Amino acid sequence: MSTGAELRRKFLNYFALRDHLILPSASLVPKDDPSLLLTVAGMVPFKPYFQGKVTPPHPRLATAQKCLRTQDLEEVGKTARHNTFFEMLGNFSIGDYFKKETIGWSWEFLTKELGLPPEDLWITVYRDDQEAAEIWHDLMGVPRERIIPLGDDTNFWEAGPVGPCGPCSEILFDLGPAYSCGSPDCGVECECGRYLEVWNLVFTEFNREEDGKLSKLPRRNIDTGMGLERIASVLQGVPNNFETDLIFPLIEEAAIASGISYGADDKSDVALKVIADHARAVSFLIADGVHPSNEGRGYVLRRILRRAVRYGRLLGIRDPFLKRLTDKTIALYQDPYRELKERSGHIQRIVSLEEERFSETLEQGLQILQEQLEKVEVSGEKNLPGGVAFRLYDTFGFPLELTQEILAERGMNVDLDGFRVSMEKQRERARAARVETVPSDSFKVCTAYSGDKTKFTGYGNLSARSQITAIIADGKRKSESDPGGAGTGYIGPDTFLL
Ligand code: GLY
């Protein structure tokens, strides 16, 4: 059996020996890339190299990249493969080698280094890509019947709405008839899970422009991605990503916190998997500088974290528990990802604070939701009024998607138009209030006056003790001012209050 850590090492060593420069994982927060909220694939940090805007440190690169995807958040824990956070192993050619080399290396790595039986591997290619199909057949010896041409849906890969992209070829591992849905049509295109995509080889020749059109990149590139948890599940002979050594210790920790063993029943297993997955994602997001908020990536973090807390409640956990899960994540991953250890105190503070905040309102919010649901059900409606969902969001901290998920469990929906109307009204009220009360960015004024001695401590603490050394109101130094008055900030040596 290969551990996750051994597989990560083996992959990087294999490509280092083939003249690849091994780079550390980039942050989950993409740098200078407004088109993406989070790093969703190994190629994301290399987009400017592919586009010819920046010269890479070496034309051949390989990484184990931290990634986070949320498009199927509701599926996490229910299926064998969906995760929010995952690690992607990838080798990249920036205008250097192309199809023949990457196909050859991926085949050799899987069949020789990892020892997977060639007859269990299936290949897909882009429907027009005769060249890739020939390489698989003529040079690797894959029988033609196991090389399947497919269309844009599965075999044209792009990271987001714009950027480098291209046709791709996937390698799938046949887990065997025990994993099949049993349909006579069950094949590599079937969603049942028997054929597990383990590695995607992208032949990155194009750039998707703002207007949606494809343009040719200056050079032909290679971008590959192999999910570490997936390949670990194959090598470790476990039926899903969660039971690999990369995640299972977190499930065990959640089982201790809840007093419910993994395997007790399907419903509690889903909750244990969700908690394990989400605690891992939360730890890595916070380590990369994301703060819970109601916008952008901060909202992604908040949504994941609060979803984990709710699943903890479903398991009957009443006391704060997430910190022990994030501590476990830090212990498991601190070796390859030193940022976790370095920012462990910060992760602990943010997690505890956010869990505490949400726990204060969760019970009450759930009770209100229950009462409203009963009313809606009695009236024979299927939609919860948008105003109620908005109140849960605004007052009780329920991300909209969490409310939707709870409703979906009962076959109901949120009236989204009503929700948007309530949200817009609230924004208008906030805009009006801002104009009246916060005419200047007081924190910037305070730091300018204090020289960098004033720190904002509100991310980690709700209150702090400090000595007031100056008062700024309306952008000017004053001897007195109303607390909370317009544009007022109090400068202290290590804190900032508004
Ligand atoms: N960049 C290749 C993949 O994510 O599948």
d(CA 77, CA 271): 7
Q: Are residues 426 and 453 in the same domain?
A: no
Q: Over range 388-415, report the average pLDDT.
A: 93
State pLDDT tens for residues 179-190: 999 999 999 999
Task: Kindly state whether residue 366 falls inside one of the protein's structural domains.
Answer: no
pLDDT of residue 4: 98
Q: Are residues 158 and 224 in the same domain?
A: yes
Task: Kindly state whether residue 8 falls inside one of the protein's structural domains.
Answer: yes
Phi, psi of 331 (to 5 degrees): -65, -40
pLDDT of residue 235: 98
Pocket test for ligand 1, best of 40, 43, 69, 83 (most atoms within 8 A of CB): 43
pLDDT of residue 478: 72
Task: Kindly state whether residue 373 falls inside one of the protein's structural domains.
Answer: no
- pTM score > 0.75 for this model? yes
Q: For the sheet containing 489-491, what is the strand order? A: 476-478, 470-473, 489-491, 496-497
Give the angle 296-298-300 at the CA atoms, nearest 5°.
75
Task: Kindly state whether residue 201 falls inside one of the protein's structural domains.
Answer: yes
Task: Kindly state whether residue 92 falls inside one of the protein's structural domains.
Answer: yes
Report which DSSP code applies to 412: -
For the chain, the first-to-last Cα distance in angstroms comes to: 56
Q: Over range 63-71, report the average pLDDT.
A: 97
Task: Kindly state whether residue 372 falls inside one of the protein's structural domains.
Answer: no
Q: Are residues 423 and 447 in the same domain?
A: no
State pLDDT tens for residues 151-162: 999 999 999 999
The Å distance, Cα 199 to ligand 1 centre, comes to: 8
User: Considering only 107-111, 152-156, 261-265, 493-497, which range has the smallest mean pLDDT?
Assistant: 493-497
Q: Containing domain of residue 142, as a range?
A: 4-238
Q: Are residues 208 and 306 in the same domain?
A: no
Residue 427 — very low, low, confident or very high, per pLDDT cuts 50/70/90?
confident
How does DSSP assign 248-285, residue by residue?
A: HHHHHHHHHHHT--TTS-HHHHHHHHHHHHHHHHHHHH
Number of domains in the chain: 4
Q: Are residues 224 and 301 in the same domain?
A: no
Task: Kindly state whether residue 375 falls inside one of the protein's structural domains.
Answer: no
pLDDT of residue 487: 45
pLDDT of residue 446: 57
Q: Are residues 27 and 160 in the same domain?
A: yes
Q: Are residues 139 and 60 in the same domain?
A: yes
Q: Are residues 19 and 164 in the same domain?
A: yes
For residue 463, the tally of other CB atoms under 10 A from its CB is 8
The Å distance, Cα 169 to ligand 1 centre, comes to: 10
Task: Kindly state whether residue 367 falls inside one of the protein's structural domains.
Answer: no
State pLDDT tens for residues 26-37: 999 999 999 999
Q: What percent of the chain has pLDDT over 70?
A: 88
Residue 482 confidence (pLDDT) above 70: no
Q: Are residues 326 and 429 in the same domain?
A: no
The Å distance, Cα 202 to ligand 1 centre, comes to: 7
pLDDT of residue 430: 80
pLDDT of residue 454: 66
Q: Are residues 223 and 285 in the same domain?
A: no
Pocket test for ligand 1, best of 224, 226, 230, 231 (most atoms within 8 A of CB): 224
State pLDDT tens for residues 270-317: 999 999 999 999 999 999 999 999 999 999 999 999 999 999 999 999
Q: Are residues 67 and 199 in the same domain?
A: yes
Ligand 1-lining residues (CB < 6 angstroms):
41-43, 157, 200, 202, 223, 225
Residue 67 confidence (pLDDT) above 50: yes
pLDDT of residue 72: 92
The Å distance, Cα 200 to ligand 1 centre, comes to: 6
User: Considering only 155-159, 389-393, 437-441, which range has the smallest mean pLDDT?
Assistant: 437-441
d(CA 186, CA 244): 26
Residue 439 confidence (pLDDT) above 60: no
Report which DSSP code applies to 111: I
d(CA 44, CA 201): 15
> How does the average pLDDT of the chain come out, rounded?
91
Three-class DSSP labels, 166-192: EEEEEEEEECCHHHCCCCCCCCCCCCC
The Å distance, Cα 303 to ligand 1 centre, comes to: 25
